[in-house]
Every structure is written in C-alpha cells, then in structure tokens.
Structure 1
Amino acid sequence: MDLADLKEQQKIIQHLEREGLKHVVFTNCVKDENVKQIIPMVTELVGSSHRYHRGEHVEYCIMVIGVPNVGKSSLINSLRRQHLRKGKATRVGGEPGITRAVMSRIQVCERPLMFLLDTPGVLAPRIPSVETGLKLALCGTVLDHLVGEETLADYLLYTLNRHQLLGYVQHYGLGEACDDIASVLKRVAVKLRKTQKVKVLTGTGDVNIIQPDYPAAARDFLRAFRSGLLGPVMLDRDLLQGRPAEEP
C-alpha cells in the first residue's frame, strides 16, 4: 500500500468482501507496516482447518501466490525482518518475472515454525477488457514493451487527469495539466535532456536533426508513477464508486 491512494480504505474492504474475499490486511513491505498481523492470522486460519489436524508436526508451510510483480518476494523478506531479524532470502525487482520457479522453503518465523514458498506470478488466462489490461500493465504485471511504453504513458496521463491527480504537473514543472501525451512527453524529454539525432532526407541530401526522445520520456513518466513520485494513485477508483470506467 506504499503507492496506493487509500483514502477510501473501508470501501475497498467492502468491495473485496462482496467478491468473497475475507481477512484483508493492508501492508507496506517497504516500511514493514502491518506485516506482523499476517502470522497470527494465518496461524488461526490454518489451525481452524480440519485438514490441518491430520498431521502431527506443528509447522506451517504456506505458498505465497499472486499476479506478477505484486510484491510476493517483498512480503516474504519483510516477514523475515519482522520475526527473525534476518535479511533478504529471495530476490526482488521492479519488473515481472524475477521469480521464475517455485523456490525452496523459506523460514519466516520461529514460533510458530513457519515456512513460505515464493512462486512465479500468474495472470488470469483471459483479461476481461482492454482497460483492465492497461491497468495491469501500468502496475508492471507484464513487460512494458509488450504493450508499448508510449501507449501506457498515454493511458496513465488520461487516468491522472480524469481523477484530478496532477502531481505530474509539479514533478515535471509543466505549469498546467495537459491531455495531449505527445506534448507532455516532449516537455518531459526537454526537461530531462532526453534527445536523439534523427537523419532526415531533404532535397539537398541527408540532414541530422535533434528531436525529443519520446520513448525515453515515456519510460521516465512510468518510472515516476511506479516510484510514487507522482503521488498516491488508485487505478480502480471507478469500481468503488459503482460506475463503469469510461473509454480512454
């Protein structure tokens, strides 16, 4: 939750409960916030299961599952810091596909004795809409180049403007909001001095000109969003307000 806008946290919980999800915990694995709630909750849930009492060994082995790049490895490392005072046991990164196979058991707690299994991220076989796919891509669940960095930047700009989240204006010193992605990326590229030489054919021969590096500007725009530099954002705000998302 270090990057999310949680002003309507109760509505988020209510929406998840309507979807059949219980026992929701908002955590921040960067600052280890609320992570200590997880072990007692898991212990209680597993202990109340009929299947748990079939075994004689009092230890827990639990698989951590989720979509790619959602923070599964970060959660495991945070639990180890909180309960064992130990460092990283599994590699993390800001892109999908860091964990490529089910890892060996990683101890995260001594009492009760608990091991977690880190797993590769898995997406649903079918994405219900283009906009849902764009939201997932903005969160880094697929590699950017598979969708297109400038396409993602365009959707991000649309979302920020629609919800009046104008942190990007201040971050890049744009002066005012703008809904034209080409104009925004041009100004971002100029500010960051991201330019490239392009050869142009003229009537008198080839001429090299300098133009903004739009892909580089788009990558920086996405990086700033994912790093929280544009402020907290909730991409699914429309779901909480009970209305379908508008077409971008």
Structure 2
Amino acid sequence: MRLFSVLRAPAVGWRERFDCGGREVARWFPGHMAKGLKDMKNRLRVVDCLLEVHDARIPLSGRNPLLQQALGIRPHLLVLNKMDLADLTHKSRILECLRQQGLSHVLFTDCLQDENIDKIVPLITELVSNSQRYQRAENIESCIMVIGVPNVGKSSVINSLRRLHLQKGKASSVGGQPGITRAVLTRIQVCDRPLMFLLDTPGVLSPQIESVEIGLKLALCGAIRDHLVGEEVIADYLLYTLNRQQQFSYVERYRLASPCDDVETVLKSIALHLGKTRRVKVLTGTGNVTVTAPNYNGAAVDLIHSFRKGLLGKVMLD
C-alpha cells in the first residue's frame, strides 16, 4: 500500500524546466542524408503524394522543415506512428495545432497491431484524385514517397501496408537505430486495387535542429544516435519528463524506494538492481586501487530502452 500511495502522490518539487547546461544541439546530417534529400527531389516527377511518417510522442517537434520546402508541392498525408507509446488524451489539442499549421490530413497509427493502417490507402487515393497529377494523368498507378526523420517507422508502415493489402512479408529493413534506410529505394508495391507503389527513403534530419530541447526529444525517441547526445543526458531528460507527467512506473520496474528527480541517484539504484557494475582504477596516496563501481552508462541505456519499448508508461513529449 505504501508504494501505491507514493506512486499516486501529486508531483511536488519536480524540476520546472530541464537545465540544458549550455549544451549545443547535436548535429547529425551525414552524407547519406544529404544525398538522400537530393535523390528525393530528383524522383518528385514520378510522385503523386507525400506520406510523411513521424513519431506520435513528438507530433509537433522535430519534423524536418527542409522536407516541406523541397517536397511540399505534392498532396501530403501526415502519419503519426507509434501511437501505442503515446498519451493520446491530448489528441484533440495536437490535431488542432497541426491544423493551424496547415495539416488537415493526419492519421495516428500503430504498425505492431496494424491499427489504422487500413485507412492510409483510401486517404491517399482521395488526395491523389483531388489533385493535379503533374503530367501523370494517363498512369493508372499511384506512386507515393514516404518521408520523415530517422527511426519513426517509415519502413514499418510500408511493411504493414504490404501485409494488409498483399499478404506479403517485409520489403524494407527495420531496426531500433536511426539510419537503417540509407538510400531512396526502388518502387515497392503495397496495394493492387488501387495499384499503388511506395518509395522508401532515408530519414533526414534538419542540419540545424531548432533547439536543444527538441534535439533531446528526438534523441529520446531514437531519431538521433544516443552517443551523439550522451546516454546519461538522454536518461536525465527522460527522468525529468516521466516525473513531470507523474509516470512513476520506473520505480516499480527497478525496485526503487520512491520516485526521485536526481538522475545520479536513480542511475546508481538501477545499476545496483540490475547488477551493472564496472571495475575502475582509483588513484590513492599509495598507488592505484581497482574498485567496483556502478555502471551509470549501462543503467542509462537500460532506462532509455525500457522507455522506447513502452515499459515506462505512455507519454506525450510535446
């Protein structure tokens, strides 16, 4: 009963803001991203519609404005994927904010359960039929370009569509790290009635992320490689977010005494609970001594991966 009371207690004394500590925004725009964006522009002449996939936990943050500037002349459907990991109690507010940004065609999806995947083809078909097809009016098939930042599930959406409409397996590789798709691929059929093909593309971040906090949100959702930001920094931002939203399941998962807002204390407790230790040399007055210390980085990695697997509760980062 004591633990239950602690976990349901109102969040008092949590940080009101995350101290970025003068950090600079991590820049991750490797060569394959620049090449991918150029290839995407070159393929536009055969594209009827853009299918932008983004993470439902950050529906307002981190979308790449370069993609809109370069490719925005086509009809556009925004798919907010990984809805199973997002707190959708704020869904109406998010949709209104997106509508004010000019995005009237928005769909929340979950590729693990194929939820709302069946709505994608009808929506795209309607968008294409109501638009100028840019000298493609004689073609009976539609070609859709899938765009977005890394690791939001673009390839998963393609595979879900193929599974639903063609009863076929994976056509695009998927993974938990950003950068799995590194080039604009050949056309992938996802439906036969209507005849529809998709172009999978590499995830492309903006060369200049808008703010440090947006960079942290992207990193927490796996759009930026962890080591570029720092696992312990990402874990600290995650702890800040969970406590602010009163998501205290991390306490039960790691057998902590109570919620805590100090990342060093939490990571030490997690490391001890998981048995994650490392041998370090300590310089003393009589020479070096090797001691066993908690592996804070290992604990941070476990905490971050637990969040990404949906084991720490549903959140909305925006």
Shorter-chain TM range is over 0.9
Q: Does 1:172 align with 2:247?
A: no
Tell me how far apart the structure 2 counterparts of residues 89 and 128 of structure 1 sit (CA, whole Å). Answer: 33
What SS does structure 1 have at the residue aligned with 2:205? Answer: coil
Query: Do residues 122 (structure 1) and 211 (structure 2) align?
Result: no
Helix, strand or coil at the partner of 2:106: coil
Aligned to 1:47: 129
Alignment check: 8 A CA contact 2:281 2:290 kept: yes
| Residues in 2 aligned to 1:188 and 1:45: alpha-carbon distance in whole angstroms | 49
Displacement of 1:154: 0.7
Counterpart pick for 2:213 among 110, 120, 131: 131
State the alpha-carbon separation in 2 of the partners of residues 162 and 78 from structure 1: 34
Q: Which amino acid aligns with 2:202?
A: P
Residue number among 115, 136, 153 corresponding to 1:33 in the alignment: 115
**Structure-to-structure mapping, 1:199-218, within 5 angstroms:** 199-218=281-300
Counterpart in the other structure of 1:241 = none
Partner of 2:32: none
Aligned-partner Cα distance in 2 for 1:192–1:72: 33
Contact 1:46 1:52 in 2 (8 A): no
Q: Does 1:183 align with 2:265?
A: yes
Of the candidates 299, 302, 316, which is equivalent to residue 220 of structure 1? 302
The Cα shift of 1:129 comes to: 1.4
Structural RMSD (CA) = 1.1
User: Does the C-alpha gap of structure 1 residues 44 and 52 become closer, same or farther in structure 2, counting only changes over 3 Å?
Assistant: farther
Q: Is the 8 A contact 2:178 2:203 kept in 1?
A: yes
- Which residue in the other structure is 1:90 paired with? 172
Counterpart check, 1:81 vs 2:163: yes
Contact 1:62 1:117 in 2 (8 A): yes
Using the alignment, how far apart are the partners of 2:134 and 2:84 within structure 1? 34
Is 1:68 the counterpart of 2:68? The answer is no
Alpha carbons 1:60, 1:113 under 8 Å: kept: yes
- 1:92-127 per-position Cα deviation (integer Å, ceiling 9, x unaligned): 011110000001111100101111010001112322
The aligned residue for residue 56 of structure 1 is 138
Matched position secondary structure for 1:183: helix
> Is the 2:245–2:315 contact (alpha carbons within 8 Å) kept by the matching residues of 1?
no
Q: Tell me: higher relative CO, structure 1 or 2? Use CA pairs within 8 A at least 6 residues apart.
A: 2
1:3 and 2:85 correspond = yes
Report whether the alignment pairs 1:157 with 2:242: no
Residue 148 of structure 1, aligned match among 230, 242, 248: 230
Distance 1:61 1:54 in 2: 10
How many residues align? The count is: 236
Deviation at 1:28, TM superposition (A): 0.4
Residue type at the aligned position of 2:154: K
Corresponding position of 2:314: 232
Deviation at 1:61, TM superposition (A): 1.0
Aligned match for 2:280, one of 198, 207, 223: 198
Structure 1 residues without counterparts, runs of 5 or longer:
237-248
Measured against aligned partners, the alpha-carbon deviations of 1:162-198 in whole angstroms (never above 9, x if no partner) come to 1211121111111211011000000000011000011
On the 8 A contact 1:47/1:53 being kept in 2, the answer is no
Structure 2 unaligned blocks of 5 or more? 1-82
